[in-house]
């Protein structure tokens, strides 16, 4: 499994907002992160729709965090921007696509590994990543 660029960029956008601790125009976020404005807009649409950020209109407006970064886990972002974290198709939502799912001797192992990764991502908040609190213990 490989995380998409959008997932990694979403983490960077949220870090930028957390460090600024004030409303930032999308153009400023783009300039500070080196991420294209179009991509920032696409990410913000998803984050706004999921109550992680919100837009402030008017002078001094821009995008702000709606949720505290300690309440946003890496798992939340993976869930929003990825199709899943499974290593193999038979462990995901489309597991019925595999004709061997009932006789496969290794499926349980892949499911268990995928679940452990998902559990770990859910326990690491963005504040942990920002300050490397839990990262060194993984």
C-alpha pair distances (Å), 93 with each of 66, 83, 85, 118, 132: 30, 9, 11, 14, 32
Q: Tens digit of pLDDT per residue, the chain (138 long)?
A: 678 999 999 999 999 999 898 999 999 999 999 999 999 999 999 999 999 999 999 998 999 999 999 999 999 999 999 877 776 777 766 556 677 778 888 888 888 888 898 899 999 998 888 877 555 555
Rounded to an integer, what distance in angstroms lies between the CA atom of residue 27 and that of residue 77?
22
Q: pLDDT, tens digit, for every residue of 41-74? A: 999 999 999 999 999 999 989 999 999 999 999 9
Distance (Å, whole) CA 132 – CA 75: 16
**Same domain (yes/no): 85, 59:** no
Do residue 47 and residue 89 come from a single domain? no
* CATH number, domain with residue 21: 1.10.10.10
Whether residues 78 and 107 share a domain: the answer is yes
Instruction: Determine if the pTM surpasses 0.85.
Output: no
Please list the alpha-helical segments (H only) found in 1-84: 5-20, 26-33, 37-49, 74-81
Distances (CA, A) of 82 to 3, 33, 76, 103, 124: 7, 21, 10, 28, 17
- Could you list the residue range(s) of the whole structural domain that residue 52 is in? 5-65
Please tell me the total count of domains within the chain: 2
């Amino acid at each position: 499994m490989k995380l998409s660029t959008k997932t990694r960029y979403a983490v960077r956008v949220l870090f930028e907002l957390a460090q600024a601790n004030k409303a930032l125009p999308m153009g400023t976020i783009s300039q500070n992160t080196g991420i294209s404005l179009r991509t920032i807009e696409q990410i913000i649409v998803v984050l706004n729709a999921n109550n992680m950020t919100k837009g402030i209109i008017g002078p001094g407006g821009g995008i702000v965090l709606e949720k505290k970064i300690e309440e946003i886990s890496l798992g939340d972002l993976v869930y929003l921007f990825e199709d899943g974290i499974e290593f193999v198709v038979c462990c995901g939502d489309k597991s019925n696509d595999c004709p061997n799912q009932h006789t496969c001797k290794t499926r349980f192992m892949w499911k268990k590994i995928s679940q452990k990764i998902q559990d770990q991502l859910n326990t690491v908040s963005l504040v942990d990543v920002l300050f490397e609190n839990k990262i060194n213990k993984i």
